[in-house]
Chains A and B, each alone.
Chain A
Amino acid sequence: MSAALRGPERPPPSTLRVAGLVIGLAVRRLTSRMSITRRKKPSTARGATARKRSAGVLFLVFSILFLFNGMVQSTLLVHRVAVAAERRANLQSELVTRDTMVWVDWAHRCVQAERRHEHEDANWRETLLRAFTRQVRDDGIGDDINAVRRISELMRIFEERGPAGFREARVPSRAVFPSQRGWYGEGDAGEMLIPLGVVGILLAAAVVLNSTASNQDLAKVDFSLEWWFTFPVPARSLLLARLLETAVANPLAWFTVFPFFSVVFWCAGYSWRGVAGGLASTIYIGLLAGSVRIVAETGLRRFFSLRNVARLQAALTLVAAIPLVIAIATMSPQWLTTLDRLGRRLPTWVIVNPLMPIGIAAGGKEAVMAVLGCALFALVITGSATTLGGWMLRDGLTTGAGPHQGHRQPARPVGESRLGALGVVAGKELRFLVRDRRTFVQVFLAPVIILGMQMIMNPRLWRVLATHPRHAGAMAFGLSAIVLATGACTTFAVEVPALWMYFTFPLAIDEVLVRKAAFWGVVASVIAVVTFGVLTSADATAVLNGIPTLVLVLVGVVLYAFIGAGLGVLGTDAFETEPRHRVRGSMVYLFMTLAGLFAHAIYTPSAWAKFAQLVLSALLAYALWQKVRDHAPFLLDPSEAPAPSVAVADGLIVALAFFVLQGLLVLTLGGLDFSPGAALLLAFVGAGLVVGVASLFIFWQSRIPHLWATLGLRTPRRGLLRGVLTGVGAGAVGGLCGRGYLMVVDRFDVLRRLRDDTLSLSHSDTGAGTILWFIALTVVAAPLFEEFIFRAVLFGGFRRSIGPWGAALASALVFAVVHPPIAVVPVFVLGFLAAVVYERSRSLVVPIATHMTYNAIVVGAALWRS
């Protein structure tokens, strides 16, 4: 009876089968996450709520880029080590290229001929100097003083010792792709193996520590582990499966260890078989990492309280970064030399022994020993780690409840506090920032590591930054941008699981999000101020001179906090279950690209470029937040979208497309047989027509209600004639202001020079034909297209959020910024007047009349004067 109840006995699956299943699952998850193998599902009842596409191609491209980069850097490293080894082996003579050697021999023959008075060629000295200059450049001495010093030293050696002082180098002077010529095999094998072995050990340590420290929250039992333990499979099989999973699915190992060992073995003489060696070495180090990981996963929770496990892991995350940073720092020759020297102080067997794959590079008996040693050690450590792990799990997976332990005790009541909503949101954010180990490390440690790396790799940077506030400002902004890319861009994504709460508050969601953006603005500003202060602290005058730069940096940081948070909201998929994949990666790249543009504005000396960049960044921030506001009510609705309307973002895109297209057309038409004036006009009209028609089509496609009326494409409210007259009147007022401004310009030397510069740039040849084209452009074409972009789209986009007056000011400001600096003031007035008459008439005809009249007056006056 009992046997019948139990059902037929089935043996548990074998360990290998379990490992296969688990790894298959990991690969399946990885590929479907990257959507590499995702096929279109047949349409089902819920087909329309399908998820957005993820960046599978991007992942592939980046993987290839990382691998390629790893290969190139490893080749450079091997080459550098080989060059150093060859130098050490030939201390008595100078190593030069075959080319230089030929010239040295030739010069020697010339000298001998001179001595015999057979033939005099005074030019050998000059030719040899040129050869030595090439040699010095090939050796990578970029510094002028050092180069001159080195050349004269080579000359001296030639004069003293002749060709005997030189020797042709075996290692080529440059190497990009791995080749066996890049290895120096003569002399002591340790010359090559010790420095490369040190780097190998560092990379292995980085992989082992990272697999343990950053894979998951060690204090929390991994969900998949907990699930697996419900199956009738021995713990040891499960742990082995997890170990193998770590060994195989380990991006850090594949992007660093694999290219490194492959290149080393390739160069050491194994050629393409070296790649197989690299593969085996990667798996071997992956197995070590997996073993350490499962022991840590099972053991730490048993022997420490969960709170201490979390602390230990936070410390480990920091420690894990160190070997990786040092390994990368070997790209700098000084660090390589230092590490090499350090490695030599240790006994050789510490670095080159049968447990280290680097021994394979030695070839012969040593290679066999290394292969056997590694294989045996892998078996032993894998076996003992699973046994140890199984033993530690004999009483279950965990001893506590959760990752971050509060106390089961009542909290203390607090007294009266009036924080207001900003303070409440900021308080919550601050708690999260301080308590979440990962975010904390990303926000505060990443800038320190990046700055430190820069300083280590390039010590001269410190002096440059200390004395040039603009450089220091760009650096401070860059670090803040990195903080924002990790903090502000993801500030919405971390809220997603608890987003329902915000829908219960009597507060619009976008208002909450604005407060979060403001919080990150403050955090990033603090980091910018501290960085700027540290960088310029050496020089008191630099601090004072840097205050305007610092102000620009802070304004930029706050703007970019909003841009980052806005991009984060728009790029977050609230229905994604995997937290790490909620924010689209492309949004973060976009953010860093935009931040790069602003960093350039900080760096550039031109005040006008700074101002224009500031206005455009503010416009971008506003455009994004208008979109966020539109989308906020629909964040948890999988099917509804905001009603279609004209937005500031549309204005931004239309204007950008117009200017880019115009530039491209000018370049293209310049190559054809057009006069400059005609080319300019044609480019302007062509770009205007394409952008105008395309934007109308897109607006029509997105079903904006009352499209023609929305874009002012209708007759003025009080009739056509009255509308045109109003427009001409406003244009006349603006034109007179412009005339007055030009008279003021004449009185000030600086302004006059600025005007003359602008004029000489815009139309250098002033023939009668050019003037006609210029009039057609300014009086007819420009008003038509610019009014559509800046009034119909941009002003319309602003108007629905900030009302007619704010929209008139904002659109006029942007309109002014895209004009030459000298024209900003009158063009701003024109933009404002045009917006006002457009608002009153609701028809584009009126501002077009205004713009035409204004341009006619200003251009007419200029022509009359000349």
Chain B
Amino acid sequence: MRADIVRISEPAALAFDCTWQYHHAGFHQSEEQVSTSMVQIRGLTKRYGEFTALSNVTFDIPRGELFALVGPNGAGKTTTMRLLMGILKPSAGTALVDGRSCFDDRVEVKRLVGFLPDEPIFHDYLRAIEIVRFVGSMHGLSGSEIEGRAWPLLERMELADATDEYAVNYSRGMKKKLALVCALMHQPKLLVLDEPTSGLDPIATRRLNELLLEMVQGGATVLLSSHLLDQVERLCHRIAIINAGRLAAVGTLEELRRRANAESSLEDIFFAVAGEIAPPASA
């Protein structure tokens, strides 16, 4: 079993990600890399005591790309995102956004990044609109800028009719949409979305997908994690598969397919790469 994992993951990691280039470049960042990559992750490791949640992960996300992190529960996706947001400090390695360190330059980085957590929790006793205004003000937006940006976003997320409600009374999907509005208020260059579609209804999911594509066309970069493999397959330019804290594979769907010798769908690749779980017999 262990031999299987090594056989599949090692060449996969070597062949079609930036690790290869990175190893040969000898840790020196070229000028080109800084200008094209929005996110650079190098040997990123996070340990909680003796437990290693993320181990030596390396990948790049070029500007204007829609990039997906997939992997089983507890694989390290959320840890990666929290490291990018400077909520956690790396135990080793670096995470850079636009060439800036996510932990050391966290204040600067957050001007560029919008973040949607897996389970957004809001302050008690604040109405939705008050939260949106609070977030806008904390990003330094003026009152008119906030109103000008918030209402179209709220309309689009179908929250405009419930903005006077306390956010704690929102359903899970509504909270997620509200958090998304908050993440978009300052027009970020990079969106970090932790399972953005979980809890969303099909209409909202489609709207979100459209919104993400629009943003990417406008030059923004998106990093999202998801369990909906078919959605990732349709939407994302490149995909990274994380398993047990290690990067198992990264590349475009085509590259992943070629590498894993798997059949057509991302689901098959996922099962092949994630290794431990055998594909269902009927597939």
Cβ proximity bits A499-538 to B, threshold 8 Å, 1 near / 0 not: 0110111111000000000000000000000000000000
Contact residues of B: prevailing secondary structure? mixed
Q: Determine if B134 and A424 form an interchain contact, defined as CB atoms under 8 angstroms apart.
A: yes
Cβ proximity bits A409-439 to B, threshold 8 Å, 1 near / 0 not: 1110111111101001001100110011000
List 7 tightest A-B contacts by C-beta distance, closest first.
A48-B49, A402-B169, A406-B165, A411-B129, A435-B125, A417-B143, A424-B137
For residue B123, CB closer than 8 A to chain A, the reply is yes
**Which residues of chain B are within 8 angstroms of A428 by Cβ–Cβ distance?**
123, 126, 130, 134
Cα–Cα distance between A404 and B142 once the two chains are bound (Å):
29
Q: Determine if A410 and B161 form an interchain contact, defined as CB atoms under 8 angstroms apart.
A: yes
**Which residues of chain B are within 8 angstroms of A411 by Cβ–Cβ distance?**
127-129, 163-164
Cα–Cα distance between A652 and B123 once the two chains are bound (Å):
36
Q: Determine if B51 and A406 form an interchain contact, defined as CB atoms under 8 angstroms apart.
A: no
B265 to chain A: closest CB distance in Å?
A: 32
Cα–Cα distance between A405 and B85 once the two chains are bound (Å):
33
Q: Determine if A507 and B138 form an interchain contact, defined as CB atoms under 8 angstroms apart.
A: yes
Q: Determine if B110 and A504 form an interchain contact, defined as CB atoms under 8 angstroms apart.
A: yes
Residues of chain B touching chain A, judged by Cβ–Cβ distance below 8 Å, are 46-51, 82, 85-89, 91, 103, 106-108, 110-111, 113-115, 117, 120-130, 133-135, 137-140, 142-144, 147, 151, 160-166, 168-169, 182-183
For residue A636, CB closer than 8 A to chain B, the reply is yes
Q: Determine if B163 and A424 form an interchain contact, defined as CB atoms under 8 angstroms apart.
A: no
Q: List 11 A-B contacts (CB under 8 A).
A: A49-B49, A404-B169, A406-B166, A409-B164, A414-B147, A416-B144, A498-B122, A503-B87, A504-B182, A507-B107, A637-B87
For residue A644, CB closer than 8 A to chain B, the reply is no
Q: Determine if B122 and A633 form an interchain contact, defined as CB atoms under 8 angstroms apart.
A: no
For residue A401, CB closer than 8 A to chain B, the reply is yes
Q: Determine if A639 and B48 form an interchain contact, defined as CB atoms under 8 angstroms apart.
A: yes
Cβ proximity bits A632-644 to B, threshold 8 Å, 1 near / 0 not: 0110111110000
Residues of chain A touching chain B, judged by Cβ–Cβ distance below 8 Å, are 43, 45-49, 401-402, 404-411, 413-419, 421, 424, 427-428, 431-432, 435-436, 494-495, 497-498, 500-501, 503-508, 633-634, 636-640
B153 to chain A: closest CB distance in Å?
A: 13
**Which residues of chain B are within 8 angstroms of A436 by Cβ–Cβ distance?**
124-125
B162 to chain A: closest CB distance in Å?
A: 5
- Residue on B nearest A415 in the bound complex, by CB: B143
Q: Determine if A49 and B115 form an interchain contact, defined as CB atoms under 8 angstroms apart.
A: no
Q: Determine if A406 and B164 form an interchain contact, defined as CB atoms under 8 angstroms apart.
A: yes
- Residue on A nearest B163 in the bound complex, by CB: A411
**Which residues of chain B are within 8 angstroms of A634 by Cβ–Cβ distance?**
89
**Which residues of chain A are within 8 angstroms of B108 by Cβ–Cβ distance?**
506
Q: Knowing A508-B107, A637-B87 touch, does A408 contact B126 (C-beta < 8 A)?
A: no
Q: Determine if B47 and A408 form an interchain contact, defined as CB atoms under 8 angstroms apart.
A: no
Q: Determine if A48 and B51 form an interchain contact, defined as CB atoms under 8 angstroms apart.
A: yes
Q: Determine if B48 and A432 form an interchain contact, defined as CB atoms under 8 angstroms apart.
A: no
Residue of A402, A415, A431 touching B130 (CB-CB under 8 A):
A431
Q: Determine if B117 and A500 form an interchain contact, defined as CB atoms under 8 angstroms apart.
A: yes
Cα–Cα distance between A429 and B54 once the two chains are bound (Å):
37
Residue of B121, B127, B168 touching A500 (CB-CB under 8 A):
B121
Q: Knowing A47-B49, A416-B142, A428-B123 touch, does A405 contact B163 (C-beta < 8 A)?
A: no
- Residue on B nearest A495 in the bound complex, by CB: B123
Residue of A404, A415, A497, A636 touching B121 (CB-CB under 8 A):
A497
Q: Determine if B88 and A636 form an interchain contact, defined as CB atoms under 8 angstroms apart.
A: yes
**Which residues of chain B are within 8 angstroms of A495 by Cβ–Cβ distance?**
123
B250 to chain A: closest CB distance in Å?
A: 26
Q: Determine if A637 and B88 form an interchain contact, defined as CB atoms under 8 angstroms apart.
A: yes
- Residue on A nearest B114 in the bound complex, by CB: A504
**Which residues of chain B are within 8 angstroms of A409 by Cβ–Cβ distance?**
161-164
Q: Knowing A415-B144, A435-B125 touch, does A46 contact B117 (C-beta < 8 A)?
A: no
Cα–Cα distance between A419 and B130 once the two chains are bound (Å):
14
**Which residues of chain B are within 8 angstroms of A638 by Cβ–Cβ distance?**
48
B125 to chain A: closest CB distance in Å?
A: 4
- Residue on B nearest A433 in the bound complex, by CB: B125
Cα–Cα distance between A498 and B123 once the two chains are bound (Å):
6
Residue of A431, A494, A503 touching B86 (CB-CB under 8 A):
A503
Cα–Cα distance between A640 and B79 once the two chains are bound (Å):
14
Q: Determine if B137 and A431 form an interchain contact, defined as CB atoms under 8 angstroms apart.
A: no
- Residue on B nearest A503 in the bound complex, by CB: B87
**Which residues of chain B are within 8 angstroms of A415 by Cβ–Cβ distance?**
143-144, 147
Q: Determine if B169 and A405 form an interchain contact, defined as CB atoms under 8 angstroms apart.
A: yes
**Which residues of chain A are within 8 angstroms of B122 by Cβ–Cβ distance?**
498, 501
A41 to chain B: closest CB distance in Å?
A: 13
- Residue on A nearest B120 in the bound complex, by CB: A500
Cα–Cα distance between A638 and B120 once the two chains are bound (Å):
19
Q: Determine if B127 and A501 form an interchain contact, defined as CB atoms under 8 angstroms apart.
A: no
**Which residues of chain B are within 8 angstroms of A416 by Cβ–Cβ distance?**
142-144
A439 to chain B: closest CB distance in Å?
A: 9
**Which residues of chain A are within 8 angstroms of B126 by Cβ–Cβ distance?**
428, 431-432
- Residue on B nearest A419 in the bound complex, by CB: B137
Cα–Cα distance between A45 and B129 once the two chains are bound (Å):
42
Cα–Cα distance between A506 and B100 once the two chains are bound (Å):
14
**Which residues of chain B are within 8 angstroms of A43 by Cβ–Cβ distance?**
50
**Which residues of chain A are within 8 angstroms of B113 by Cβ–Cβ distance?**
504
Cα–Cα distance between A570 and B208 once the two chains are bound (Å):
40
**Which residues of chain A are within 8 angstroms of B135 by Cβ–Cβ distance?**
501, 504-505
Q: Determine if A406 and B169 form an interchain contact, defined as CB atoms under 8 angstroms apart.
A: yes
Q: Determine if B137 and A636 form an interchain contact, defined as CB atoms under 8 angstroms apart.
A: no
B283 to chain A: closest CB distance in Å?
A: 29
**Which residues of chain A are within 8 angstroms of B130 by Cβ–Cβ distance?**
428, 431
Residue of A405, A497, A501, A633 touching B106 (CB-CB under 8 A):
A633
Q: Determine if A46 and B51 form an interchain contact, defined as CB atoms under 8 angstroms apart.
A: yes
**Which residues of chain B are within 8 angstroms of A494 by Cβ–Cβ distance?**
124
**Which residues of chain A are within 8 angstroms of B125 by Cβ–Cβ distance?**
404, 431-432, 435-436
A544 to chain B: closest CB distance in Å?
A: 41
- Residue on B nearest A641 in the bound complex, by CB: B89
**Which residues of chain A are within 8 angstroms of B110 by Cβ–Cβ distance?**
503-507
Cα–Cα distance between A406 and B170 once the two chains are bound (Å):
11
Cα–Cα distance between A47 and B51 once the two chains are bound (Å):
8
Cα–Cα distance between A408 and B163 once the two chains are bound (Å):
7
Cα–Cα distance between A46 and B79 once the two chains are bound (Å):
15
Besides the contacts A404-B169, A501-B123, what 8 more A-B pairs have beta carbons closer than 8 Å? A402-B168, A404-B166, A406-B162, A409-B162, A413-B147, A424-B137, A498-B122, A639-B48
Q: Determine if B87 and A500 form an interchain contact, defined as CB atoms under 8 angstroms apart.
A: yes
Cα–Cα distance between A638 and B48 once the two chains are bound (Å):
7
Q: Determine if A639 and B144 form an interchain contact, defined as CB atoms under 8 angstroms apart.
A: no
Q: Determine if A432 and B114 form an interchain contact, defined as CB atoms under 8 angstroms apart.
A: no
Cα–Cα distance between A48 and B139 once the two chains are bound (Å):
36
**Which residues of chain A are within 8 angstroms of B147 by Cβ–Cβ distance?**
413-415
A47 to chain B: closest CB distance in Å?
A: 6
- Residue on A nearest B125 in the bound complex, by CB: A435
Cα–Cα distance between A505 and B129 once the two chains are bound (Å):
17
B227 to chain A: closest CB distance in Å?
A: 21
- Residue on B nearest A639 in the bound complex, by CB: B48
Cα–Cα distance between A638 and B53 once the two chains are bound (Å):
12
A130 to chain B: closest CB distance in Å?
A: 67
Residue of B89, B144, B162 touching A637 (CB-CB under 8 A):
B89
**Which residues of chain A are within 8 angstroms of B161 by Cβ–Cβ distance?**
408-410
Q: Determine if A504 and B144 form an interchain contact, defined as CB atoms under 8 angstroms apart.
A: no
- Residue on B nearest A508 in the bound complex, by CB: B107
**Which residues of chain A are within 8 angstroms of B128 by Cβ–Cβ distance?**
406, 411
Cα–Cα distance between A409 and B135 once the two chains are bound (Å):
21
Q: Determine if B169 and A401 form an interchain contact, defined as CB atoms under 8 angstroms apart.
A: yes
**Which residues of chain B are within 8 angstroms of A48 by Cβ–Cβ distance?**
48-51
A361 to chain B: closest CB distance in Å?
A: 47
A429 to chain B: closest CB distance in Å?
A: 10
Q: Determine if B138 and A421 form an interchain contact, defined as CB atoms under 8 angstroms apart.
A: yes
Q: Knowing A406-B166, A506-B110, A633-B86 touch, does A498 contact B121 (C-beta < 8 A)?
A: yes
**Which residues of chain A are within 8 angstroms of B115 by Cβ–Cβ distance?**
500, 503-504
Residue of B86, B107, B114, B166 touching A405 (CB-CB under 8 A):
B166
**Which residues of chain B are within 8 angstroms of A505 by Cβ–Cβ distance?**
110, 135, 138-139
- Residue on A nearest B179 in the bound complex, by CB: A501
Cα–Cα distance between A421 and B126 once the two chains are bound (Å):
17
